[in-house]
Amino acid sequence: MKKVKNIGLIAHDGCKKDMTEWVAFNAKRLSVHNLVCTGTTGKLIEEVYKTKFPELKANITKLKSGPLGGDQQMGALIASDQLDILIFFTDPMTMQPHDVDIKALIRLSAIGNIVVACTRSSADFIISSPLFETEYEAIKDEHENYVKRNLR
Spatial distance between the Cα atoms of 125 and 118, rounded to a whole number of angstroms: 12
Catalytic residue among 13, 18, 71, 81: 71
How far CA 48 is from CA of 25, 52, 57, 70, 126, in Å, comes to: 10, 6, 12, 21, 21
Orientation of helix 99-112 relative to helix 70-79, angle to 10°: 10
User: In degrees to the nearest 10, what's the CA dihedral of 32, 118, 90, 46?
Assistant: -10
Contact 60, 42 (CB under 8 A): yes
Number of Cβ within 10 Å of residue 103's Cβ equals 11
For residue 21, the number of C-alpha atoms closer than 13 Å in the C-beta half-sphere is 9
**Among this protein's residues, is 71 annotated catalytic?**
yes
Catalytic residues: 71
